[in-house]
Amino acid sequence: MKNAPTRVAGFDRRLVIHGVDFSGADSGGAAKIRIAERELASRSAVAVRGRIDRSGLRRAILESVKDGREHLWRIDAPFGLPLECFAESRPEAMAAGELSWRAVADWMSGFANARDWRGAMRELSRREPKRACDRALHTPLAPMNLRVFKQTFTVITEVLVPLADAGVSIMPVWMPSDGSMPMVRVCESCPASVLWNRGWPAKGYKGTGEPPRAVREEIIKLLRKEGLDIASDVAVEAIHDVEGDLLDALIMVTEPIQNGVPVEFAAQAEVEAWVY
């Protein structure tokens, strides 16, 4: 397994798709992670797992390798950093094409915690540039932003690096060099991007009172029109979840935004990652 050239690949309609609302909170995620899952085929029922932490997420992904089915795990957290962050500190590596996703991930893993890592990023640059995928697919925040940096750090160092070491494929940054399509793949997603790209309400659905509750209800109706078979009790829970955790997980079991990386962004996406 190595950092291989990005390629456009379709998604088999029979695969099991998992939408993971991630948590970068202390204490391993504090059992805040929500997972929705279904077969990608239309009108398939959506199942919802109980809350787990980051260790539980790793175990769930590794368990899926053993069942012989095709799985796509879409996780709501940034999988990479902008190349722009390293333009001044690693110009030789960038010029030689030696700055890989794994090199960046291993560098991050050398920090004791997310705050130490963010401090190092702030020393590289006080700016918070977005990645190519953030700009193209309208994600709301840069990976090192104060509101999301813990998610970025923990998903890369606590989830993705151990999975890569175990041989699990991470789209598009850690895929088989022979171009084959693995049965189990992990990729980055973003509920706001999914909503924006479908022309659905991408803001205003988190929070107490009205109109956030009404916006969550509208999104549930749109998901059902999209073909998701959402049970009544799951829908009620999602509508009343003011943080939007369950709704975010449900949004990510829709069909992926894209089935591959556009050619013009391929080189950047091999390091920065991509949103599906």
Q: 68: alpha, beta or left, given left = phi > 0 and alpha = psi -120 to 50?
A: left
Mean pLDDT of 259-274: 92
Q: Sketch the domain layout of the chain as residue ranges.
A: 1-276
Percentage with pLDDT > 90 across the chain: 74
pLDDT of 3 above 50? no
Does residue 121 surpass a pLDDT of 80? yes
Predicted pLDDT at 28:
76
**25-48 pLDDT, tens digit each:** 988 778 899 999 999 876 678 999
pLDDT of res. 87: 74
**Is this prediction's pTM over 0.85?**
yes
pLDDT in tens, 215-231: 999 999 999 998 899 99
- Residue 260: the pLDDT is 84
Asked whether the bond before 211 is cis by omega within 30 degrees of 0, the reply is yes
222-229 long-range contacts, CB within 8 A, separation 24+: 222/198, 223/250, 223/251, 223/254, 226/198, 226/254, 227/42, 227/43, 228/38, 228/46, 228/253, 228/254, 229/38, 229/43, 229/44, 229/45, 229/46
pLDDT averaged over the chain? 90
Average pLDDT over residues 63-87: 93
